[in-house]
Amino acid sequence: MKIALINENSQAAKNALIEATLRKVVEPMGHEVVNYGMYAADDAAQLTYVQNGILAAVLLNSGAADYVITGCGTGEGAMLALNSFPGVICGHVEDPVDAYTFAHVNDGNAVALPFAKGFGWGGELNLEYIFEKLFGFGHGQGYPKERVVPEQRNKKILDGVRAIAFRDLSDILKDLDRDLVKGAFAGEHFAENFFPACKDEKLAATVKELMA
């Protein structure tokens, strides 16, 4: 699994800590981590949590990433931004139980974490345990056992509703404010990470057009 890490501007200073913790947990499992920044608070490319949503949607819908780890101060804004786009099911995760139950009950492809709220002594340990529960026990298996069948059925229903409720991502991107979208792709290593990994030619062409 290719896991993308995205940080917005208010919590960019924690990027190195989050990346190191994520790699420590998931790389021994065979997963790959790609860091899309922000890498530091003073990066030239400043991402808002809304732009996190744009970037995450492009990565997931293009196949450039299989999963996105993101967040903001509380995690709420990032979660709302990601869930505004097709092809993204983002959970708000504060602790390892949230991580485990989201993975198995909701079977999404992104999480938004609170990187400021409650992030004090032991914050990196909470992150480590969250990533262990999120990626170490599979996905979509249901919890508790007696709820597996209805939960898996409800997930299929949700996927069907979302398929009708959302339109093509390329059309959405072209209708958004051009500077807002362009800024989402302005990260120092975006192009070198995204284009070789992108599996959707139409979306790649849209991104190139909007970056021009």
Record the pTM. Answer: 0.96
Label the pairing between strands 90-92 and 67-72: unpaired
CB 151 within 8 A of CB 139: no
CATH code of 116's domain? 3.40.1400.10
pLDDT bin (cut points 50, 70, 90) of residue 143 is very high
Q: Which residues pair with 90 in a beta bridge?
A: 110
pLDDT value at residue 39 = 98
pLDDT value at residue 67 = 98
pLDDT tens per residue across span 63-82: 999 999 999 999 999 999 99
pLDDT tens per residue across span 46-62: 999 999 999 999 999 99
pLDDT value at residue 64 = 98
pLDDT value at residue 74 = 98
DSSP-derived letter for residue 89 is -
Which structural domain, as residue segments, surrounds residue 160?
A: 2-211
Domain count, the chain: 1
Burial label for 54, CB within 10 Å (0-12, 13-18, 19+), is buried
pLDDT bin (cut points 50, 70, 90) of residue 20 is very high
Q: Coil, strand, or helix at residue 92?
A: strand
Residue with tokens 């959970």: 91
Please state, in angstroms and rounded to a whole number, the distance separating the CA atoms of residues 9 and 81. Answer: 15
Mean per-residue pLDDT, 10-16: 97
